[in-house]
Structure 1
Amino acid sequence: MTDENEGPARPKRRGLWITAMVVAAVVVTGCGGAAAYAFSASDRPVAKKPIAPATEPIERGTLTGSSKASGSLAFSDPHDIASGSAGVVTGLPQPGTTISAGQSLFSTNNVPTYLFRGDLPAWRAFSSGMDDGPDVKQLEQNLKALGFFSGEPDDEFSWRTQSAITAWQKATGQERTGSIELGRIVFQHGDVRVSALKAAVGDQASPGAPMISVTGTEKQVSVDLRLADQQLAKTGGTVTIDLPGGKQTAGTITSVGTPQEKKDSTTGGTTATIPVVVELDDPAAAGELQQATVTVNFPSEVRQNVLSVPVGALLALSGSQFGVEVVQKNGTTRRVPVKTGLFAGGRVEISGAGLTEGRRVVVPSL
């Protein structure tokens, strides 16, 4: 009985096992198919659109060449201010201080020396009965600007002058004498900036001894231009200045000196140069720079009403022959031989058959 029951049972289990194997094979086959499909899809090359070349239009206009020269950016008009009287130094300003008209420059014997504006230096004391002169008018102009002189400034030292001096002395805490001793005021072209001290508190000052080093409050560029380039520098001419950090600004030539011999630190010899001074059209462009080496671009050659393209558009065709790749109306390009002229500002003057303003040329990009 046992053998009869066990005999039929074995084929049934074998059938189940075969069925399971078939199902497993189907599953494996299906997975394999899916894997194969996914691989084929990801491996299929993707069509790419052709990249259009970078182009620029041919331009018509003025090209200006330039000659470069190294320059030094610093505050203008550096010079010393000396004591006009003898005494012990009792007060000095801090370097970097800006001093305006009517303010104290330094003190000797605890009495300040004041800054006034004017082109004439003070060469005598101011007091009643003095001879007429342009220095009197200059004094009155300062007293008027400070609010102490009520009349029209002239060359005569009058009661108005004396009254104005007295009012000024009272306002500044000085002894009210109505006169000004020599050395008590210093005339300068404008406000000054203290760059260094030439004396120390407690020193014995003497007339003519430097007390402080000052500059103007504006910055300028000094250039030693090569003698061969002297024709490029003319007073009133415009230049461009390359500042540190890649910034560029405009400047105006304010003075052109006479040739000077300058020692060459490299060769040990001497070379003739032309000292040129340039003022910044926009003083704020120099920012916080107090001193720096800059490059000054002096305009040289000028080409007017010419065609030009970026220098990068030039192609070397053969030997010394250059050309450009012109874009046709149908989108294709054609190489056209050109004659080059002035190179300036990253552009080059060109001429050639079929070249017109507005046509685009290929400019290879990196």
Structure 2
Amino acid sequence: PAVLMNGTVPAYRPMHRGNEGTDVLQLERGLSALGYDPGAIDGTYDASTAAAVRAWQDDLGLDDTGAVELGRVVFLPGERRVTKRIAAPGGRAAPGPALTTTSTHRVVTINLDAADQRSAKVGARAPVELPDGSIVPGRVESVGRVATAASGQDGGGDPTIEVTVKLTSKRGLGHLDAAPVSVRLARSRRHHVLTVPVTALVATKGGSYAVEAVPADGGTQLVAVTPGLFAGGYVEVEPLHRGALRTGMKVTVPA
């Protein structure tokens, strides 16, 4: 069997007495985590390390040589989840990976149009809508720097970049391992602006817009506005005449 141990440096050589390096340090840490005593965990493959390896090999039913052949240990950072098993037990050995893995942390991967790259910034908020319509918070964890052409039915497509979104809350996720979701990325932001429901906009002559405001003294008043950003069913508006529309003022919407 190939044994998974935590480590950032891949196993790249057989390990035996006399070796030194980060790979040996990772092996010693792995043996210690499994309950074996490699002696000082210092990155030096000494007699104590070899003794721990022999005990480990014996428990696995392997020849207790005290040395670790290349391919016996796989180092990967943190816990991993197997996403696909490529090689089957008893099958014919072939070049290539035996399985693929991912992190145990659930993340969202999206292929974003390269033209929209500016809307994805590392650390930016990115709410995720689950299949049941619920929203969970997320933040952009990484943004790809290489655009790839998406393949379409016509043999081509707009270039995209890979964006990873980390979910910052597990509430409502249930036991989903994979699912189609929607991610909301803000193209731009506006602060300290007036907003009204989109349905409050009234089209006027000449392609302009207005909202029907309800002054405190009653009645209604059509106020010409310039629409801005749209988001979440609301639209930013700026009255053409300063003061004609104020925070807290009521506007009419279709019933």
Q: What is the TM-score when the length of structure 1 is the normalising length?
A: 0.60
Report how far residue 136 of structure 1 moved: 0.7
Answer 1 or 2: which has greater helix percent: 1
Matched, 1:360 2:247: no
Report how far residue 167 of structure 1 moved: 4.2
Report how far residue 313 of structure 1 moved: 1.8
Matched, 1:127 2:16: yes
Q: In 2 relative to 1, CA 226–211 (structure 1 residues): closer, same or farther, beyond 3 Å? A: closer
Aligned partner of residue 116 in structure 1, secondary structure: strand
Which residue among 186, 189, 195 is the counterpart of 2:74?
A: 186
Aligned partner of residue 121 in structure 2, secondary structure: coil
**Counterpart in 2 of 1:323?**
210
Report how far residue 197 of structure 1 moved: 3.0
- % of aligned pairs identical? 40
Tell me if structure 1 keeps the 8 A contact 2:150–2:160.
no
CA offsets, 1:161-186, max 9 Å, x none?
23433443455555544332322221
Aligned partner of residue 332 in structure 1, secondary structure: coil
Structure 2: 5+ residue stretches without partners: none
Tell me if structure 2 keeps the 8 A contact 1:315–1:323.
yes
Matched, 1:225 2:115: no
Q: Which amino acid aligns with 2:165?
A: V
Aligned length: 252
Alignment of 1:216-255 (within 5 A): 216-255=103-142
Higher relative contact order (CA closer than 8 Å, sequence separation 6+): 1
Measure, in 2, the Cα distance between the counterparts of 1:205 and 1:256. Answer: 36
Tell me if structure 2 keeps the 8 A contact 1:251–1:280.
yes
Measure, in 2, the Cα distance between the counterparts of 1:305 and 1:139. Answer: 56
**Counterpart in 2 of 1:267?**
154
Q: In 2 relative to 1, CA 279–137 (structure 1 residues): closer, same or farther, beyond 3 Å? A: same
Tell me if structure 1 keeps the 8 A contact 2:119–2:188.
no
Q: Which amino acid aligns with 2:250?
A: R
Report how far residue 242 of structure 1 moved: 2.6
**Counterpart in 1 of 2:5?**
116
Tell me if structure 2 keeps the 8 A contact 1:119–1:188.
yes
Which residue among 167, 177, 182 is the counterpart of 1:290?
A: 177
Report how far residue 135 of structure 1 moved: 0.5
- Higher CA-based Rg: 1
Report how far residue 196 of structure 1 moved: 3.3
Matched, 1:214 2:101: yes
Q: Which amino acid aligns with 1:182?
A: L
Report how far residue 116 of structure 1 moved: 0.8
Structure 1: 5+ residue stretches without partners: 1-111
Measure, in 2, the Cα distance between the counterparts of 1:284 and 1:185. Answer: 36
Q: Which amino acid aligns with 1:132?
A: E
Q: Which amino acid aligns with 1:154?
A: D
Aligned partner of residue 302 in structure 1, secondary structure: coil
Q: Which amino acid aligns with 1:327?
A: V
CA offsets, 1:105-150, max 9 Å, x none?
xxxxxxx321111112212222222x31111111112223333347
